[in-house]
Amino acid sequence: MDLLQNNYDDFSLGDGWRVRESNRARNLRIQVFPHGGVEIVVPPRTSKKAVQGFINEHRDWIVKTRADFLDRRQGEMLLPEEIILQGIGETLRVVYLDSESSRVRQNGDDLLVFVANKTPEDVWPVLQSWLKRKARSHLSNSLTALSRDTRLFPSGLQVRLQKTRWGSCSPRGTLSLNAAVFLRPPEELRYVIVHELCHLRHMNHSQRFWQLVERVEPD
Protein backbone atom coordinates (compact mmCIF):
# COMPACT_ATOMS: atom_id res chain seq x y z
CA MET A 1 0.00 0.00 0.00
CA ASP A 2 1.26 3.48 -0.88
CA LEU A 3 1.03 6.04 1.86
CA LEU A 4 1.06 9.81 1.59
CA GLN A 5 3.22 11.09 4.43
CA ASN A 6 2.80 14.44 6.14
CA ASN A 7 6.45 14.15 7.24
CA TYR A 8 7.54 15.68 3.94
CA ASP A 9 4.92 18.39 3.60
CA ASP A 10 7.30 21.15 4.66
CA PHE A 11 9.56 20.74 1.62
CA SER A 12 9.57 23.82 -0.63
CA LEU A 13 9.35 21.90 -3.87
CA GLY A 14 7.16 24.16 -5.96
CA ASP A 15 3.76 23.68 -7.58
CA GLY A 16 3.03 20.18 -8.76
CA TRP A 17 5.82 18.54 -6.72
CA ARG A 18 5.24 16.07 -3.91
CA VAL A 19 6.99 13.37 -1.91
CA ARG A 20 5.27 9.99 -1.47
CA GLU A 21 6.31 7.20 0.86
CA SER A 22 5.75 3.69 -0.50
CA ASN A 23 6.07 0.37 1.32
CA ARG A 24 7.03 -1.20 -2.01
CA ALA A 25 9.90 1.18 -2.74
CA ARG A 26 13.43 -0.14 -2.20
CA ASN A 27 15.23 2.96 -3.45
CA LEU A 28 14.40 6.61 -3.95
CA ARG A 29 13.04 7.30 -7.41
CA ILE A 30 11.59 10.13 -9.44
CA GLN A 31 8.42 10.17 -11.50
CA VAL A 32 7.78 13.09 -13.85
CA PHE A 33 4.27 13.02 -15.27
CA PRO A 34 3.23 14.26 -18.73
CA HIS A 35 1.10 17.03 -17.20
CA GLY A 36 4.20 18.39 -15.42
CA GLY A 37 3.68 16.91 -11.97
CA VAL A 38 6.72 15.57 -10.12
CA GLU A 39 6.63 12.82 -7.52
CA ILE A 40 9.55 11.67 -5.40
CA VAL A 41 8.88 8.10 -4.23
CA VAL A 42 10.79 7.05 -1.12
CA PRO A 43 11.04 3.89 1.02
CA PRO A 44 9.50 3.95 4.51
CA ARG A 45 11.34 5.89 7.19
CA THR A 46 13.58 7.73 4.75
CA SER A 47 15.01 10.80 6.46
CA LYS A 48 14.16 14.27 5.27
CA LYS A 49 17.87 14.95 4.83
CA ALA A 50 18.24 11.99 2.48
CA VAL A 51 15.19 13.02 0.47
CA GLN A 52 16.34 16.62 0.18
CA GLY A 53 19.81 15.50 -0.91
CA PHE A 54 18.31 13.20 -3.56
CA ILE A 55 16.12 16.02 -4.88
CA ASN A 56 19.04 18.46 -4.99
CA GLU A 57 21.19 15.93 -6.84
CA HIS A 58 18.59 15.39 -9.56
CA ARG A 59 16.88 18.79 -9.62
CA ASP A 60 18.39 19.88 -12.96
CA TRP A 61 17.20 16.67 -14.65
CA ILE A 62 13.74 17.01 -13.10
CA VAL A 63 13.36 20.61 -14.23
CA LYS A 64 14.52 19.79 -17.77
CA THR A 65 12.28 16.70 -18.09
CA ARG A 66 9.29 18.59 -16.73
CA ALA A 67 9.88 21.45 -19.17
CA ASP A 68 10.17 19.00 -22.08
CA PHE A 69 6.83 17.41 -21.19
CA LEU A 70 5.08 20.75 -20.83
CA ASP A 71 6.58 22.01 -24.09
CA ARG A 72 5.27 18.95 -25.95
CA ARG A 73 1.80 19.45 -24.49
CA GLN A 74 1.37 23.12 -25.37
CA GLY A 75 -2.24 23.75 -26.26
CA GLU A 76 -3.53 20.54 -24.65
CA MET A 77 -6.18 20.65 -21.98
CA LEU A 78 -4.60 19.54 -18.71
CA LEU A 79 -8.04 18.71 -17.35
CA PRO A 80 -10.78 17.10 -19.46
CA GLU A 81 -13.87 19.06 -20.42
CA GLU A 82 -15.70 15.86 -21.29
CA ILE A 83 -15.28 12.13 -20.74
CA ILE A 84 -16.42 9.70 -23.42
CA LEU A 85 -17.24 6.24 -22.09
CA GLN A 86 -17.38 4.42 -25.42
CA GLY A 87 -17.96 1.09 -23.70
CA ILE A 88 -21.48 2.12 -22.68
CA GLY A 89 -22.09 4.90 -25.21
CA GLU A 90 -22.07 7.68 -22.63
CA THR A 91 -20.56 11.18 -22.95
CA LEU A 92 -20.29 13.33 -19.85
CA ARG A 93 -19.57 17.05 -19.58
CA VAL A 94 -17.12 17.65 -16.74
CA VAL A 95 -17.93 20.55 -14.40
CA TYR A 96 -15.36 21.55 -11.77
CA LEU A 97 -16.66 23.00 -8.51
CA ASP A 98 -14.82 24.39 -5.49
CA SER A 99 -15.06 22.25 -2.38
CA GLU A 100 -12.92 21.45 0.64
CA SER A 101 -13.71 17.73 0.24
CA SER A 102 -12.93 15.91 -3.01
CA ARG A 103 -15.73 13.90 -4.59
CA VAL A 104 -17.48 13.20 -7.89
CA ARG A 105 -21.19 13.10 -8.57
CA GLN A 106 -22.94 12.36 -11.84
CA ASN A 107 -25.99 14.48 -12.57
CA GLY A 108 -27.52 13.36 -15.85
CA ASP A 109 -24.96 14.10 -18.55
CA ASP A 110 -22.91 16.29 -16.22
CA LEU A 111 -20.06 14.96 -14.11
CA LEU A 112 -19.65 17.25 -11.12
CA VAL A 113 -16.10 17.19 -9.77
CA PHE A 114 -15.70 18.81 -6.35
CA VAL A 115 -12.06 19.66 -5.53
CA ALA A 116 -10.18 22.17 -3.41
CA ASN A 117 -7.68 22.94 -6.19
CA LYS A 118 -8.30 22.60 -9.92
CA THR A 119 -4.87 21.11 -10.65
CA PRO A 120 -4.04 17.80 -12.37
CA GLU A 121 -2.47 16.52 -9.15
CA ASP A 122 -5.75 17.01 -7.27
CA VAL A 123 -8.25 16.23 -10.03
CA TRP A 124 -6.85 13.13 -11.73
CA PRO A 125 -6.84 10.85 -8.63
CA VAL A 126 -10.49 11.82 -7.98
CA LEU A 127 -11.48 11.08 -11.58
CA GLN A 128 -9.58 7.79 -11.55
CA SER A 129 -11.33 6.64 -8.38
CA TRP A 130 -14.70 7.55 -9.89
CA LEU A 131 -13.87 5.69 -13.12
CA LYS A 132 -12.94 2.54 -11.20
CA ARG A 133 -16.19 2.63 -9.22
CA LYS A 134 -18.34 3.22 -12.31
CA ALA A 135 -16.47 0.65 -14.36
CA ARG A 136 -16.76 -2.00 -11.67
CA SER A 137 -20.55 -1.88 -11.70
CA HIS A 138 -20.82 -2.24 -15.47
CA LEU A 139 -17.91 -4.67 -15.87
CA SER A 140 -19.39 -6.90 -13.18
CA ASN A 141 -22.67 -7.10 -15.12
CA SER A 142 -20.87 -7.78 -18.41
CA LEU A 143 -18.72 -10.43 -16.76
CA THR A 144 -21.76 -12.18 -15.31
CA ALA A 145 -23.48 -12.30 -18.71
CA LEU A 146 -20.38 -13.52 -20.55
CA SER A 147 -19.69 -16.13 -17.87
CA ARG A 148 -23.14 -17.59 -18.46
CA ASP A 149 -22.54 -17.61 -22.22
CA THR A 150 -19.11 -19.23 -22.02
CA ARG A 151 -19.70 -21.42 -18.94
CA LEU A 152 -16.47 -19.97 -17.56
CA PHE A 153 -16.93 -18.62 -14.04
CA PRO A 154 -14.21 -16.60 -12.27
CA SER A 155 -13.80 -16.71 -8.51
CA GLY A 156 -13.76 -12.93 -8.25
CA LEU A 157 -13.32 -9.58 -9.99
CA GLN A 158 -10.91 -6.73 -9.36
CA VAL A 159 -11.06 -3.43 -11.24
CA ARG A 160 -7.89 -1.37 -11.32
CA LEU A 161 -6.06 1.13 -13.51
CA GLN A 162 -3.05 -0.90 -14.58
CA LYS A 163 -0.34 0.89 -16.55
CA THR A 164 0.69 -1.93 -18.90
CA ARG A 165 -2.17 -4.39 -19.36
CA TRP A 166 -5.89 -4.47 -20.07
CA GLY A 167 -6.54 -7.45 -17.83
CA SER A 168 -5.15 -10.54 -16.16
CA CYS A 169 -6.28 -13.82 -14.62
CA SER A 170 -4.76 -15.13 -11.40
CA PRO A 171 -4.06 -18.83 -10.77
CA ARG A 172 -6.95 -18.74 -8.28
CA GLY A 173 -9.37 -17.63 -10.97
CA THR A 174 -9.70 -13.94 -10.08
CA LEU A 175 -10.00 -11.63 -13.06
CA SER A 176 -8.41 -8.20 -12.88
CA LEU A 177 -9.73 -5.75 -15.46
CA ASN A 178 -8.45 -2.30 -16.31
CA ALA A 179 -11.08 0.39 -15.77
CA ALA A 180 -9.67 2.22 -18.79
CA VAL A 181 -11.18 -0.45 -21.05
CA PHE A 182 -14.42 1.38 -20.27
CA LEU A 183 -13.12 4.15 -22.54
CA ARG A 184 -12.76 1.74 -25.47
CA PRO A 185 -15.50 0.65 -27.93
CA PRO A 186 -17.94 -2.05 -26.73
CA GLU A 187 -16.45 -4.79 -28.92
CA GLU A 188 -13.00 -4.19 -27.43
CA LEU A 189 -14.39 -4.19 -23.90
CA ARG A 190 -16.14 -7.49 -24.61
CA TYR A 191 -13.00 -9.00 -26.10
CA VAL A 192 -10.87 -8.17 -23.07
CA ILE A 193 -13.36 -9.96 -20.81
CA VAL A 194 -13.58 -12.96 -23.15
CA HIS A 195 -9.79 -13.16 -23.35
CA GLU A 196 -9.40 -13.27 -19.58
CA LEU A 197 -12.28 -15.71 -19.12
CA CYS A 198 -10.58 -18.13 -21.50
CA HIS A 199 -7.52 -18.04 -19.26
CA LEU A 200 -9.63 -19.77 -16.61
CA ARG A 201 -9.30 -22.89 -18.74
CA HIS A 202 -5.85 -22.28 -20.25
CA MET A 203 -3.38 -20.22 -18.20
CA ASN A 204 -1.23 -19.57 -21.25
CA HIS A 205 -1.40 -18.41 -24.85
CA SER A 206 -1.21 -21.85 -26.39
CA GLN A 207 -3.00 -22.97 -29.54
CA ARG A 208 -5.77 -24.46 -27.40
CA PHE A 209 -6.24 -21.11 -25.68
CA TRP A 210 -6.64 -19.27 -28.99
CA GLN A 211 -8.99 -21.93 -30.29
CA LEU A 212 -11.20 -21.37 -27.27
CA VAL A 213 -11.09 -17.61 -27.76
CA GLU A 214 -12.08 -18.06 -31.41
CA ARG A 215 -15.03 -20.27 -30.51
CA VAL A 216 -16.35 -17.62 -28.15
CA GLU A 217 -15.34 -14.63 -30.26
CA PRO A 218 -15.10 -15.72 -33.94
CA ASP A 219 -14.22 -12.20 -35.18
Residue 167, classified by CB atoms within 10 Å of its CB into exposed (0-12), middle (13-18) or buried (19+), is buried
pLDDT digits (tens, 9 = 90+) for 153-193: 999 999 999 877 899 999 999 999 999 999 999 999 999 99
Looking at the predicted structure, is the pLDDT value of residue 146 above 60?
A: yes
Alpha carbon separation from 10 to 14, 19, 52, 59, 64 (Å, rounded): 11, 10, 11, 17, 24
The answer to whether 194 and 145 have CB atoms below 8 angstroms apart is no
Identify the structural domains of the chain with CATH numbers, from first to last: 2-72 (no CATH), 82-216 (3.30.2010.10)
Pairing of strands 110-115, 156-160: unpaired
pLDDT digits (tens, 9 = 90+) for 23-81: 888 899 998 877 777 889 999 989 999 999 999 999 999 989 988 887 776 655 578 89
Spell out the residues 6+ positions from residue 201 whose beta carbon is closer than 8 angstroms to its own: 152, 209, 212
